[in-house]
Structure 1
Amino acid sequence: MANKSVFAAIRGKLLPRTDATNHEGAPAYRLAPHQALAQLAATGTFNATFYADAREQLDEVLKLAWQVEPEFLAKTAVHAFEQGYMKDMPAFLLAILSQMQGDQFERAFSRVVKNGKMLRTFVQVMRSGATGRKSLGTRPKRLVLGWLEKASDVELMRAAVGNDPSLADVVKMVHPKPVSASREALYGYLLGKPHDVNALPVQVTAFEAFKRDPSLPVPNVPFQMLTALPLTKEHWAEIAETAGWQMLRQNLNTFARHGVFEVEGFAERLARRLADPAEVKRSRVFPYQLLVAYMNVDPAVPPVVRDSLQDAMEVALANVPSFGRNVVVCPDVSGSMGSSVTGHRKGSTSTVRCIDVAALVAASVLRRNPTARVLPFENDVVEVHLNARDTVMTNAAKLAAIGGGGTNCSAPLARLVKERAKVDLVLFVSDNQSWLDATAHPHQGTGTMQEWRKLKALNPKAKLVCVDIQPHATTQAKGDGDVLNVGGFSDRVFDVVASFVSSGNDPDHWVRAIDATAL
């Protein structure tokens, strides 16, 4: 019989050596610059997280951005905006890109700055000095001017909502030359300067008339422009009746605050629209967006409306793919997962926690893959019974209610190895800061990799996906043809996982997804 201790040591040495430590000081693998930037760009909010403060995240992204090619940086900015639905991160990457040689900045700018809010965010980042300068500079100023000149009157009206900087501040910075009497009057109106009232766009005229006489029809302007006016609940009901589905989802508390649900029949009509399968499918809403709405709903919102969000969730699950037969989902329910998924910042801290997102992913996968196993973990695997026929909200609430304990990412894998389980896909959703399974020697790899290697011996075709909700620059599982690290969470993650499961073995799948972005 061979000496087991000798061969066990050799098996450990074949594992990739750890070359970094995570925020708990435990061994980890450092991501390459392209991989790390891709991870951080997917979810970077520049708010304080459980493990990192805002400045640390900003400095890390700034350092990584200068270590990759301008082409990749531009594609990352576009991907973060178009696929990750990020705002601050793409603007920050654009600001860095504006200081690099080449035409990548110009090409990416038009893809990222698609509306007035993004324009103001970009200008804010440029003027903050976060990238090393506090002025726009020649190229950025030219592109900002171009956006203002091409924008329609309606787009400028939408852009006028918000401050720091306001659209008026941006106009003062770049001094656009109006090409028509209407645009000249609109700039004067925005800046509070003398202007030809008769030349103002029809939207502005209607808005000013409504301010003088609220008995007139509600003007077709961004509703945020109306909030300072003495609107009645009937006015708000009129706004809601003509609003799009996504606007309704996002403003339930606003309607409640203004007494709209006191209008007879309004709550039922709104609930029917929110749960309408055709409207849900047309809006292309994903489970995460509905989770945010559901968790943020004020108690003043009627139960019929809250329930309609659960109905919409069931329809939205059609956007979650099926991953196959032997699927295991491992949501992290440790103490650190109790932090806000977008980090902490005064006035913008989400009520949705990391554990809520992990629970949602697990419940959504279970709903679409009824034979899937769910193994929540902290110090060890936590026993919980979930019914695949229950609503996603019900199962997500069960998982999110666990919470507490340390982080041991290898625990679910060890359980599967002990059971000699048949596995095709293992999906982790965690903050990836495992420390209870820390190994003493770099050559032994992380505890996660040790257990994954054992599980692979039992299931040679199995794949591992680690969704890191609040990514930094390290991981517990070394990327390989059968291991995918995904940074951050948006509903696009489901598609990324499905693509990886069906694709060949590509260790840089996430980076290649960004690199495939056409500028």
Structure 2
Amino acid sequence: MANAQLFKSMQQSQPLPAALARNAEGTPAYALTPRHQLAQYAATGCLNATFYASAEAQLATVLELCKAVEPSFIAQTAVYCRERGYMKDMPALLVAVLAGQGAAEFAPAFQRVINNGKMLRNFVQIMRSGAVGRKSLGSRPKKLVQAWLNSASEQALLAAAVGNSPSLADVVKMVHPKPKDAWRAAFFAWLIGREYIAADLPPVLAAFETYKLDPAQTIPDVPFQMLTALPLGAQDWAQIARQGGWQMVRMNLNTFARHGVYAIEGMPELIAARLRDPASIAQARVFPYQLMSAYMAAGENVPTVIRDALEQALETSLLNVPRIAGKVVVCPDVSGSMSSPVSGFRGSATSNVRCIDVAALVAAAMLRKNPDAMVLPFEHSVVTCRLDAHDSVMENAARLAAIGGGGTSCSAPLLRMNSKQELADLVIYVSDNESWIDAKRSGATATLGQWNVFKQRNPQARLVCIDISPHATTQAMEREDILNIGGFSDDVFKIIAAFAAGQLDPEHWVGEIAAIDIAAGC
């Protein structure tokens, strides 16, 4: 029988692969495959400027990657990012790329991804911009846009009618849909300012026209943006809050405060109950960070009962966070580059939630479900931060996010654990992976080197690197025991649980995307 210890030692002493790529800091890293890069950009990029790249640079990179990746994977990535990552601009861009390529996958991808009016307008805007090589829709895209317009419900069309560049009226004028329903023909005529038969208007739109003539009537159930030009009192705004969708209520808590809604008896409690309702949260497909954003943005005039409801809603939105068997270590990056907005710089519309807030949120959420987990925040070294698993996720996330600053050394947590001979089964990084403090001139990255040392003590351990920014490199190359994943939706938690249980195929996250059947559900 061969000497197991001898051959084990020889295997461990084999040199690690050299890091031949460069990250945004110009230091050694491992390049992800083109398919993995596309998935990473699609799951994290919002086509806005980030700490390291402009929106134009991101767009150019995605378009180049689409040339190197087969159309079927482009379609699968679009579906994944829309249905499981809840992204908007990037899935629309990928569908537009498929349209520009004339790919067979375009039609089924369109039907899965372009599932509301906002997505329809995004798609049309991208197509007409020339970004994918043409400035017209073309016959196939035009027919699909017409089909969407001719099958959408009245509420879907009303929701789509809010917004510009292009407006829904612009889209209708562009594709000339030929409706078979009298109500739809009247709706389109009303939309583009042509004569219509009032009796043919659909019910909600007819009620809106009646309300404009007589505000004493009941407020119609239309998007509130259609009402803001009208003279509205506190009771009117209260009715808008009652009728509004879950996301609309979340996004307008300060608006309701300005218009006196919370002074009306019972309204704070009604809105709070709506916000914490589990079924409404699930239906709204809310990101945990969106609830954090609402909590952070709530002004002093938003009642405490509503703030408390947002915290409860956050806890509910994190139900998919797994409880992992064994010892878990979570390493949130709190370096300076993590201070940039998680969805990029968008002028006055820039999110107040930073990458560091999301990293802290993931760490705090994992600690909630895994109370024995060790949390090692890092910048150029590991930073001490006292956390309590019994505190709320928001409290622990706030403590972590308050650290901030310093350079990035992704190897620091592993170095710390190796120096203390720590044992663990799963190590989770939440970072932008732009390590530079620990850069080496040649050979493997310091992170992979320290992971290899860690594995000698913990041979069954697994490493997860969650990247919440659009990048093409990693500090720990993909292999059987290392998962690189991008994004910040709850799907990330599901994939971590599957990886920890050894249930992913050899392609890990990319394999999950490639397994999507884009024709299903069309």
The letter for the 2-side match of 1:483 is I
- Unaligned stretches of 5+ in structure 1? 1-7
Match of 2:483 in 1: 484
Deviation of 1:272 (Å):
3.4
Query: Would you say the 8 A contact 1:483–1:507 is kept in 2?
Result: no
Shift in Å at residue 176 of structure 1?
1.4
Q: 1:19 to 1:502 in 2, by over 3 A?
A: same
* Mapping for residues 165-184 of structure 1, pairs under 5 Å: 165-184=166-185
Offset of residue 309 of structure 1 = 1.2
Which shifted more, 167-176 or 227-236? 227-236
Give the aligned partner of residue 242 of structure 1. 243
CA distance, structure 2, for counterparts of residue 237 and residue 309 of structure 1: 19
Q: Distance in 2 between matches of 1:281 and 1:80?
A: 17
Map of 1:366-515 to 2, 5 A cutoff? Answer: 366-441=367-442, 444-504=443-503, 506-515=505-514
Secondary structure of 2:188's counterpart equals helix
Q: Which amino acid aligns with 2:322?
A: P
How does 1:61-210 map onto structure 2 within 5 Å?
61-210=62-211
SS class of match (1:28): strand
In the alignment, the residues of structure 1 paired with residue 346 and residue 319 of structure 2 have an alpha-carbon distance, to the nearest angstrom, of 34
Give distance in 2, aligned partners of 1:415 and 1:256: 48
**2:335 aligned with 1:344:** no
Q: Classify the secondary structure of the residue corresponding to 2:101.
A: coil
Shift in alpha-carbon separation, 1:449–1:517, aligned structure 2, 3 A: same
Quote the Cα distance in structure 2 between the aligned partners of 1:188 and 1:51.
46
SS at match of 1:231: coil
Q: Which amino acid aligns with 2:149?
A: L
Equivalent AA in structure 2 for residue 108 of structure 1: A
In 2, the alpha carbon distance for the partners of 1:31 and 1:72 equals: 15
Does the residue aligned with 1:337 lie in a helix, a strand or coil?
helix
Q: Distance in 1 between matches of 2:195 and 2:275?
A: 44
What 5-or-longer segments of structure 2 have no aligned partner? Answer: 1-8
Q: Give the SS at the match of 1:321.
A: coil
Deviation at 1:283, TM superposition (A): 5.7
| Deviating more after overlay: 70-79 vs 196-205 | 196-205
Q: Which moved more, 1:399-408 or 1:13-22?
A: 13-22
Deviation at 1:366, TM superposition (A): 0.4
The code of the aligned residue for 2:508 comes to H
Distance 1:283 1:480, change over 3 A: same
Cα distance in 2, alignment partners of residues 185 and 265 from structure 1: 39
Give the superposition deviation at 1:299. Answer: 2.5
| Per-residue deviation, 1:253 | 2.1
Match of 2:3 in 1: none
Q: Specify whether residues 283 and 135 from structure 1 end up closer, same or farther in structure 2 by C-alpha distance, changes over 3 A only.
A: closer
What SS class does the counterpart of residue 433 from structure 1 fall into? coil
Aligned to 1:334: 335
The one-character-per-residue Cα deviations of 1:10-51 (angstroms, maximum 9, x if unpaired) are 978621121210011110011111111111111111111001
Task: Supply the distance in 2 between the matched residues of 1:310 and 1:418 (Cα, whole angstroms).
Answer: 38
Pair 1:211 & 2:207 matched: no
Task: Report the counterpart of residue 4 of structure 1 in structure 2.
Answer: none
**What is the SS of the residue equivalent to 1:99?**
helix
Q: Structure 1 residue 60 and structure 2 residue 79: aligned?
A: no
- Larger mean CA deviation between 19-28 and 176-185 belongs to 176-185
* 1:251-290 equivalence runs, <5 A: 251-276=252-277, 280=281, 285=286, 287-290=288-291
* Residue correspondences, number: 510
Helix, strand or coil at the partner of 1:318: coil
Q: CA deviation at 1:313?
A: 2.5
1:264-301 superposed Cα distances (whole Å, 9 cap, x missing partner): 23113322333355655676655333212212222221
Greater Cα shift, 146-155 or 15-24? 146-155
Q: Which moved more, 1:110-119 or 1:173-182?
A: 173-182
Q: Distance in 1 between matches of 2:294 and 2:461?
A: 35
- Aligned letter for 1:201? P
In structure 1, what is the Cα distance between the partners aligned to 2:140 and 2:381? Answer: 54
When structure 1 is superposed on structure 2, of 85-94 and 228-237 the one drifting more is: 228-237
SS in 2 for 1:319: coil
Going from structure 1 to structure 2, the CA distance change for 1:102 and 1:133 (only over 3 Å counts) comes to closer
1:318 and 1:133 mapped to 2: Cα distance? 44
Mapped to 1, the partners of 2:286 and 2:42 lie a distance apart of 22
Q: Does residue 307 of structure 2 align to residue 306 of structure 1?
A: yes
- Scaled by the length of structure 1, the TM-score of the pair is 0.94
Distance 1:496 1:196 in 2: 53
Deviation of 1:154 (Å)? 2.5
Deviation of the 1:321 alpha carbon: 1.3
Letter in 1 for 2:499: F
Checking the alignment, whether the CA contact within 8 Å between 2:289 and 2:353 is kept in structure 1 is no
What's the offset of the Cα at 1:222? 1.8
Moved more, 251-260 or 33-42: 251-260
Contact 1:286 1:317 survives alignment (8 Å) = no
CA 1:403–1:78: 2 relative to 1, 3 Å: same
- Equivalent residue letter for 1:94: V
Match of 1:3 in 2: none
> What residue identity is the alignment partner of 1:369?
N
| Segment of structure 1 superposing worse, 309-318 or 492-501 | 309-318
The separation in 1 between residues aligned to 2:286 and 2:87, in whole angstroms, is 16
One-letter amino acid matched to 1:63: E
- What secondary structure, in the 3-state scheme, does the structure 1 residue paired with 2:347 have? coil
1:38 partner letter: A
The list of structure 1 runs, each at least 4 consecutive aligned residues, that deviate by more than 6 angstroms after superposition, is: 8-13
TM-score (norm 2): 0.94
SS at match of 1:329: strand
The letter of the residue matching 2:162 is V
Q: Is the 8 A contact 1:481 1:506 kept in 2?
A: no
Measured after TM superposition, the shift of residue 130 of structure 1 is 1.1
The residue type paired with residue 53 of structure 2 is A
Identity %: 57
